């Protein structure tokens, strides 16, 4: 592949204003080409782009196209920066009136050097907010698509779409469906701005001549007009890749805007990389409908602040995953100590969850056409969610890790919407780690709070996710939670239900429909604050589950906790896959007795504190 840096623009507003500035602050910049003006981090703007593409393993050659007026500046720059002087191409123009135009400059480079390869084109006078993005990832994505590639970013609030080339991108194929050069307000809802950063296939280069023959005026030979013609008129396959950063073409702004954007980009959070990013995700209790989330049913679940997983990310020289001293032990007091810990907790701690999430995150971004920066980090986690009692401890670690990665790489809700995020977390566990799981836990950990979920077959097939509705959490009754101090693997309780459901066994199929009906009734009870009806529905949920799964599958520990709760008149059900029970006791005096009874039975008991995201720090960040 060959890279061509374009720096041949003329007579900009910025150059004129620097020349006429009488403060003396910019006297040293008079006559300096805009690509050689100071950029971020003390580098010249062009220095950054040369460092980015100066990789022999990616590019066989790098060329730079300038004009006759500024040629000497770039010749000196090339000598000082180990850029091959023979690759600096002079387009012969000296003024704005005799300029060739950006597309004609590209054509000049291709013809004069007889280039016959794929081309990457970059404007060398472009400020880039992110100084670490991975150009190799751009090339890999380009080569995975049967067409050209345009780099775009999401406009900041202060930027107007009427000043940029705007792309409309199909979220599934990443194909650019429409290109609009500086559209008038109201012509498109897209806020995705194209920048002069393209990859063009060698077979498409012939279209440059066709376009230029249609545009005799140099002012019309811009890349914006070229892509409008190629995408809208010729309808060639052109794809888009998002860089989660900002860009500014210096040739389009004046002195005040140049200094404003330079300051803005230089003071972005990335200039303080040592500041840790910390997020929490919370345990959840399934209040109704579970386990039908894996069987096109409906559920209601709630995140609780009693238990949480916390992940911290800090930028570092290498990528490091820090083992948890308790959950990922590597040192033991003795062989007996190792035996006891392994027998009780197994061999699978949280480190595998961090690693699988990172792997899946990179894979997702690559597939979605999002170029990540070349930044490394250290990840560590902590959690107080009891293991193997079905409170979604594994997915909480994955969820918190994903929040950290999204923040670190500036991935927005538009890049990874909440419904897709829940699918992502589930895929980390099921595809990478082969953990038996359903969507419910991941949905409530993404949306947080009290959430109604409909996983109907129609919805799942049509859009790939269900209908998720946050519910009002004000005035909830006192739910309680109890769990076994020595649980078995909660995944075992899923038994052979899936096979029976897939084979169409009437008992299982009808049960899943009934779970959904109970959930709709529970939703109405929650809205009406009818706690007695809700309690009855919770009991019905458990009895239905018991009928389908059988006592042998539920296990004596779970059944013992349920029977104990019923002795004190409390509604009770399983909040997850097993090892814990959630209940609703409307009699405060009996609730006190219930706590004592569970404690005497060797169980851990607590009154639930619901996690309400609207009353807490947004997103669980600390």
DSSP per position, 93-144: --SSTT---HHHHHHHHHHHTT--S-EEEEETTEEES-S-B-HHHHHHHHHT
Comparing CA positions, the residue from 505, 576, 571 lying closest to residue 543 is: 571
Beta-sheet strand order (sheet of 571-573): 571-573, 580-584, 479-484, 603-607
CA distances from 357 to 166, 321, 373 (A): 33, 11, 17
Contact 65, 125 (CB under 8 A): no
Comparing CA positions, the residue from 438, 301, 324, 327 lying closest to residue 387 is: 327
Comparing CA positions, the residue from 256, 119, 137, 245 lying closest to residue 193 is: 245
Q: Which helix (H) or strand (E) holds 215?
A: none
Q: Report the alpha-carbon angle 183-187-190, nearest 5.
A: 80
pLDDT attached to residue 162: 85
Three-state DSSP state, 85:
helix
Alpha helices in 382-477 (DSSP H): 393-408, 418-427, 440-447, 457-463
What single-letter DSSP state applies at residue 410?
A: T
Contacts of 34 (CB under 8 A, 6+ apart): 7, 9, 12, 14, 15, 45, 125, 250, 251
Q: Which helix (H) or strand (E) holds 17?
A: helix 13-20
Q: Which helix (H) or strand (E) holds 512?
A: helix 506-528
Prior bond of 286 cis (ω within 30°): no
Contacts of 324 (CB under 8 A, 6+ apart): 349, 350, 351, 380, 381, 382, 383
User: DSSP string covering 567-618, please?
Assistant: HTT-EEE-SSSSSEEEEE---HHHHHHHHHHHHHTTEEEEE--B--GGGSSG
Distance (Å, whole) CA 418 – CA 446:
6
pLDDT attached to residue 270: 47
pLDDT attached to residue 42: 72
Contact 319, 543 (CB under 8 A): no
Distance (Å, whole) CA 40 – CA 261:
10
Q: Sign (positive/negative) of CA torsion 19, 23, 29, 34?
A: negative
Contacts of 259 (CB under 8 A, 6+ apart): none
Distance (Å, whole) CA 344 – CA 363:
34
pLDDT means over runs of 10, the chain (622 residues)? 92 70 69 80 85 91 94 94 95 90 95 95 83 84 95 86 90 94 90 93 94 90 94 95 75 63 59 78 96 94 97 94 90 90 81 96 92 91 92 95 95 93 95 88 97 96 96 95 74 69 93 96 97 97 94 91 96 94 95 95 95 70 58
Comparing CA positions, the residue from 423, 473, 431 lying closest to residue 612 is: 473
Contacts of 148 (CB under 8 A, 6+ apart): 198, 199, 200, 201, 204, 230, 236, 237, 238, 239
Three-state DSSP state, 201:
coil
* Phi, psi angle pair for 247, to nearest 5°: -135, 150
pTM for the structure as a whole: 0.83
Structure tokens at 266: 């230089």
Half-sphere exposure of 356 (CA within 13 A, CB side): 23
DSSP bridge pairs for 119:
2, 200
Structure tokens at 313: 């990310």
Distance (Å, whole) CA 114 – CA 396:
56
pLDDT attached to residue 11: 66
What single-letter DSSP state applies at residue 181?
A: E
Q: Which domains does the chain have, with CATH numbers?
A: 2-267 (3.90.550.10), 278-607 (3.30.230.120)
CA 574 to chain centre: 32
Distance (Å, whole) CA 203 – CA 118:
8
Distance (Å, whole) CA 613 – CA 607:
19
pLDDT attached to residue 435: 82
Q: List, by residue number, the catalytic residues.
A: 441
Distance (Å, whole) CA 191 – CA 418:
20
Contact 74, 33 (CB under 8 A): yes
Distance (Å, whole) CA 561 – CA 600:
12
């Amino acid at each position: 592949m060959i890279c061509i840096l374009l720096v041949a623009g003329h007579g900009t507003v910025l150059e004129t204003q620097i020349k006429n500035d009488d403060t003396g602050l910019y006297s040293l910049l008079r006559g300096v080409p805009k690509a050689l003006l100071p950029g971020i981090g003390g580098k010249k703007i062009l220095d950054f782009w040369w460092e980015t593409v100066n990789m022999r393993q990616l590019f066989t050659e790098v060329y730079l196209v300038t004009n006759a007026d500024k040629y000497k500046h770039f010749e000196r720059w090339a000598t000082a920066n180990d850029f091959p002087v023979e690759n600096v191409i002079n387009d012969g123009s000296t003024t704005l009136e005799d300029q060739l135009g950006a597309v004609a400059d590209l054509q000049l480079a291709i013809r004069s050097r007889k280039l016959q390869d794929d081309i990457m084109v970059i404007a060398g006078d472009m400020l880039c907010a992110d100084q670490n993005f991975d150009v190799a990832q751009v090339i890999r994505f380009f080569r995975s698509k049967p067409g050209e590639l345009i780099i775009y970013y999401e406009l900041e609030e202060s930027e107007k779409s009427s000043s940029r080339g705007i792309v409309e991108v199909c979220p599934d194929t990443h194909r650019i469906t429409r290109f609009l050069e500086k559209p008038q307000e109201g012509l498109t809802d897209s806020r995705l701005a194209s920048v002069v950063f393209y990859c063009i296939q060698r077979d498409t280069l012939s279209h440059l001549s066709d376009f230029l023959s249609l545009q005799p005026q140099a002012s019309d030979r811009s890349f914006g007009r070229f892509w409008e013609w190629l995408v809208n008129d010729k309808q060639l396959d052109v794809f888009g890749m998002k860089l989660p950063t900002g860009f500014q073409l210096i040739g389009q702004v004046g002195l005040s805007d140049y200094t404003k954007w330079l300051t803005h980009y230089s003071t972005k959070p990335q200039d303080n990389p040592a500041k840790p990013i910390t997020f929490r995700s919370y345990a959840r209790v399934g209040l109704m409908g579970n386990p039908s989330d894996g069987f096109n049913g409906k559920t209601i679940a709630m995140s609780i602040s009693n238990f949480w997983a916390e992940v911290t990310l800090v930028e570092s020289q290498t990528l490091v995953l820090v083992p948890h001293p308790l959950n990922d032990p590597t040192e033991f007091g003795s062989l007996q100590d190792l035996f006891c810990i392994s027998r009780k907790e197994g061999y699978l701690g949280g480190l595998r969850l961090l690693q699988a999430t990172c792997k899946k995150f990179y894979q997702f971004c690559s597939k979605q056409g999002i170029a990540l920066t070349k930044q490394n980090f250290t990840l560590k986690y902590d959690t107080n969610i009891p293991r193997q009692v079905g409170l979604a401890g594994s997915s909480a670690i994955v969820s918190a890790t994903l929040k950290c990665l999204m923040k670190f790489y500036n991935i927005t809700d538009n890049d990874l919407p909440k419904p897709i995020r829940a699918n992502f977390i589930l895929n980390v566990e099921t595809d990478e780690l082969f953990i038996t799981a359903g969507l419910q836990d991941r949905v409530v950990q993404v949306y947080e709070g009290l959430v109604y979920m409909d996983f109907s077959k129609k919805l799942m097939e049509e859009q790939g996710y269900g209908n998720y509705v946050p519910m009002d959490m004000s005035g909830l009754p006192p739910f309680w939670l109890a769990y076994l101090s020595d649980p078995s693997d909660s995944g075992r309780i899923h038994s052979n239900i899936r096979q029976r459901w897939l084979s169409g066994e009437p008992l299982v199929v009808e049960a899943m429909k009934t779970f959904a009906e109970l959930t709709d009734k529970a939703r109405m009870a929650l809205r009406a604050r009818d706690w007695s009806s809700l309690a009855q529905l919770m009991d019905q949920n458990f009895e239905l589950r018991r009928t389908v799964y059988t006592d042998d599958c539920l296990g004596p520990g779970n059944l013992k906790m349920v029977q104990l709760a019923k002795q004190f008149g409390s509604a009770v059900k399983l909040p997850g896959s097993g090892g814990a029970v959630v209940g609703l006791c409307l009699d405060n005096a009996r609730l006190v007795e219930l706590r004592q009874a569970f404690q005497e039975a060797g169980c851990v008991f607590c009154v639930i504190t619901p996690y309400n995201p609207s009353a807490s720090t947004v997103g669980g960040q600390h």
